[in-house]
Amino acid sequence: FVIKCKAAVAWEPKKPFSIEKVEAAPPKAHEVRIKISATGICRSDDHVMSGALTVPFPIILGHKAAGIVESVGEGVTCVKPGIRKHQALTNDK
């Protein structure tokens, strides 16, 4: 099922982010959908926002994140819904 949530969307470089409602599609095969608890902007994201790195807009930045596995696509066996992402990546139970 599709999830409706909020995201900080960048519509163009050197402009403030816009907090908007977006839809997150269910994960496809070999994908994992994470409910993000916290995220940050890395140097690459900063380059996108400054215009130094050209990417198609609009874009949702912040791939450095922590959260809970919400759902998994077909073929995913290394995590399951309800697992905190850092546990899934480190096997820290």
Model pLDDT for residues 30-79, shown as the tens digit of each residue? 999 999 888 888 899 999 999 999 999 999 998 788 889 999 999 999 99
Residue 28 clears pLDDT 60, i.e. is over it: yes
Nearest-angstrom CA–CA distance, 8 and 62: 9
Nearest-angstrom CA–CA distance, 67 and 87: 10
Q: Is 73:28 a contact under the CB 8 Å cutoff?
A: yes
Domains of the chain as residue ranges with CATH:
3-87 (3.90.180.10)
Return the DSSP state at 76.
-
Q: Is 17:8 a contact under the CB 8 Å cutoff?
A: yes
Q: Which helix (H) or strand (E) holds 89?
A: helix 85-90
Average pLDDT over residues 15-31: 96
